[in-house]
Amino acid sequence: MNTQSPTVPPQTRSRRRRVGWIAACTAAILATAMLTAPAALAEDGPFTIDGNVPDGGTTQLPDQSGNVQELGPLNSNTTKIGVINRDAVPTLGTTNPNAQVDLRQAWLDTSQDDNGDYWLYFAWERDKNTGSGFIAYEFMKNKAPAACAYLTATQAQLIASCNPWANRAAGDFLILWDQQGGNKTLVVRYWEGTAPNLTLGAPSSLDATVSAAEYSGDGFRGEAAVNLSATIFAGSDDCQSFSNTIPSTVTGNSDTADYKDTILTPTPPISNCTSTTVTTPKLADGETNIPEDGLDLGSEGVDVTDSATVSLTGGTAVPAGTVSFFLCQVEEDELCETGGDPVGVKDLDGDEYPATVVSDVATVTEPGRYCFRAEFSGDDVNGIPGSSDSSATECFNVNAVASTLSTEQTWVPNDSITVTALAGGPLDGTVTVTLFPNGTCDDTDDAVYTDTLEVAGDPPQTVPTVNTTAVTESGSFSWEVSYDSENPAQLDIPASCEETSVLTIDNGGE
């Protein structure tokens, strides 16, 4: 059993059916614009595009700087859509966009349908529910420049050094939604060429088999979804990731359009790759599986490791990233889902997935139930999300070991008991010895001798009886012996009765 980790938190709706595929959008304009059909997508895709914004579980992108003197691109010839990535800072300044183009907030998410297709969800809210303009979502493979530390830098620092589009690259794309007349057709455009001298490809309309859009009833919000597997990711087995998303409003669908408002905030990556981590508890050699019945605790404890195999779905890449291991001692039926003691961090290497790494050796010194957890970090460079395994197959038992008791019968007054441990460390506890007449151990009131004696040290240990006057005549007697261990690595030995014939000549034990 294993867990998969999606690129962004999965939304909660589950109505998923097979959807149609189309070829990837190209730079050529489609001969005929295709009408959208929201009802079909709402029924077939993982998101419900019905105007109830947002869908549950989607990631909110708040407008960090409000709507008065808010941070956004300056209005100049070097900050048009087609060339803003080449603009020298300051690219940003304080602006006052009109209500019809001012974004209050936005939403972003991805999810898979039952066919394994990845879908993009995006939504927005603006200050006014009328007016023209375009909603524009730009998706860039590269992260935002380091100077664009939206959550920690001051506004002055961002103005002085941040161009959010500076890392734009070929293959990045822009989805546009014309707000005039209740239009619901989505258009995609791709960046082509060699950075920084990129050109914006011609617009292509997305039809009803791969997209849908809808407004809220009051018109202040809108939501849309696009089948990424059938469009952006189509025809490629490589992992693709888009780490920097900028929701915007723009003046039109041309290279020279102006940005009117932007939401500048960190965004979750969008990727067509998933990783799977499956782990198996091993012995210290990292190769031998721990037996299903567990391990017996030795005198110095037992050494264990965890083997993690990381697999990749949806693309190809050279293994990279790290696996962190943890070990928990848990109660019955519990798992190591959080916490635990660290057992090393290992780098993935090799030429291809799946890739296997083994934890450091952990020494267990107490009996009980133990579970590992392995966490794969993911690989941001190749757009591979992390994953983990903390399932029941990660668990094993360390068993306390049994000791044995044996009697070496001589004359009764000199009789002794030998306590032998099979494994599990020094003896530490007490031995209780009781002698019954008539070959039975039923009634403690009839016992002719009982004593509790301490035993400690490496096994075997001999515990002599001390009562020299307990037996006054020959006959059939029974010994009852038990061992109560103070060592958690050993099991107690319950009382057992052994009948033996005893001959006593006199009270002196001659």
The pLDDT value given to residue 412 = 47
The pLDDT value given to residue 313 = 82
pLDDT for 448 beyond 50:
yes
pLDDT for 504 beyond 50:
no
Residue 105 lies in a domain: yes
The CATH number covering residue 357 comes to 2.60.40.2550
Provide the pLDDT confidence category of residue 240 given band limits of 50, 70 and 90. confident
Q: What is the DSSP string of 205-232?
A: EE-TTTEEEEE-TTSSEEEEEEETTTTT
The CATH number covering residue 463 comes to 2.60.40.10
Residue 13 lies in a domain: no
**Section 246-271 average pLDDT:** 92
Find all residues with CB under 8 Å of 151, minimum gap 6, and list them.
64, 265, 266
Q: Do 191 and 97 fall within a single domain?
A: yes
**Section 134-140 average pLDDT:** 96
Residue 9 lies in a domain: no
What is the number of structural domains in the chain?
A: 3
Phi, psi (deg, nearest 5) at residue 11: -75, 165
Residue 144 lies in a domain: yes
Structural domain ending residue among the three candidates 335, 368, 399: 399
The pLDDT value given to residue 483 = 85
Q: Do 224 and 251 fall within a single domain?
A: yes
Structural domain ending residue among the three candidates 271, 302, 324: 271
Distances (CA, A) of 210 to 1, 24, 245, 459: 33, 11, 20, 74
Provide the pLDDT confidence category of residue 32 given band limits of 50, 70 and 90. very low
Q: Do 147 and 209 fall within a single domain?
A: yes
Between 452 and 176, name the one with better pLDDT.
176
What's the domain range around 380? 274-399
Residue 447 lies in a domain: yes
Token pair listed for 113: 């349908």
pLDDT for 8 beyond 90:
no
**Section 399-419 average pLDDT:** 62
Residue 441 lies in a domain: yes
Q: Do 420 and 395 fall within a single domain?
A: no
Q: Do 360 and 478 fall within a single domain?
A: no
- Other Cβ atoms less than 10 A from the Cβ of 15: the count is 13
Residue 12 lies in a domain: no
Q: Do 154 and 142 fall within a single domain?
A: yes
Q: Do 52 and 159 fall within a single domain?
A: yes
Between 494 and 140, name the one with better pLDDT.
140
Provide the pLDDT confidence category of residue 410 given band limits of 50, 70 and 90. very low
pLDDT for 27 beyond 70:
no
Under DSSP, the state recorded for 101 is: G
Q: Do 278 and 386 fall within a single domain?
A: yes
Q: Do 138 and 249 fall within a single domain?
A: yes
Between 90 and 269, name the one with better pLDDT.
90
Structural domain ending residue among the three candidates 399, 434, 453: 399
Is the Cβ–Cβ distance between 38 and 78 less than 8 Å? no
| CA dist., res. 358 & res. 455, Å (int) | 41
Residue 17 lies in a domain: no
Q: Do 238 and 305 fall within a single domain?
A: no
Q: Do 171 and 203 fall within a single domain?
A: yes
Q: Which of 84-93, 183-192, 437-446, 476-485 has the lowest mean pLDDT?
A: 437-446
Between 6 and 215, name the one with better pLDDT.
215
The pLDDT value given to residue 36 = 35
**SS3 at position 508:** coil
Q: Do 456 and 381 fall within a single domain?
A: no
- Other Cβ atoms less than 10 A from the Cβ of 477: the count is 24
Token pair listed for 195: 């950075």
Token pair listed for 429: 């506890």
Torsional sign, CA 74, 77, 78, 82: positive
Strand pairing of 395-399 and 295-296?
parallel
